[in-house]
Amino acid sequence: MSALAEIRAAFARRGVETYGEGVSQLEHALQCAACAERDGASAALIAATLLHDIGHLVHDLPVDIADQGIDAQHESLGSAFLSQYFGPDVTEPVRLHVAAKRYLATTEPGYFELLSPASVQSLHLQGGLMKADESTRFATERYAEDAVKLRRWDDEGKIVGAKTPDLVHFERYVSAALR
């Protein structure tokens, strides 16, 4: 199966699921990608932003896994899945987007207060605020800047009823970013 076919299948299978934000996985992905496109991101970063939560779509865990106190580590699952088809310019921002949330919550005054209740819940499951050495290590990651951009679009892409282009619209960025 091609990368696009697998991505379409993942969204078809679980894209309608919600995760505490009031929008479906697909709506969230499309909103985030639309933000990245609006801001002039590269094709690879738009693809990464569209696919940043694909780890939620490729596992068989229940939708309410966070309510059970379990971190699904969707960033690692997603990055591993995507590494079959994409290079690090897509997979690394996906892998680092949770760390970016932890980093921003630790280092940027007021960021934590902007997080949705579901993001606060997952933040605690994902390790909470970073220690000083973790923040330093994250800031030196090659793809930290892209991960922070992705994270900001992630925070922005949770608007119930927002109008966006459809998945087909963003497939050109996915295709352009393929290895």
Q: Is the pLDDT of residue 65 over 90?
A: no
pLDDT: which is higher, 64 or 36: 36
pLDDT given at position 20: 81
Q: What is the mean pLDDT of residues 96-103?
A: 98
pLDDT at 17: 93
Tell me the mean pLDDT in the region 117-146: 96
Q: Which residues on neighbouring strands pair with residue 24, listed in sequence order?
A: 18
pLDDT, tens digit (0-9, with 9 covering 90-100), for 153-172: 999 999 999 999 999 999 99
**Binning pLDDT at 50, 70 and 90, where does residue 146 land?**
very high
Split at pLDDT 50, 70, 90, the class of 77 is very high
3-state secondary structure of 18: strand
Domains of the chain, each with CATH number or no CATH: 3-177 (1.10.3210.10)
pLDDT at 66: 80
Tokens 């009823």 sit on residue: 161
Q: List helix spans (H) across the chain.
A: 3-14, 25-38, 43-51, 54-58, 74-82, 88-107, 111-114, 117-125, 132-139, 144-156, 167-177
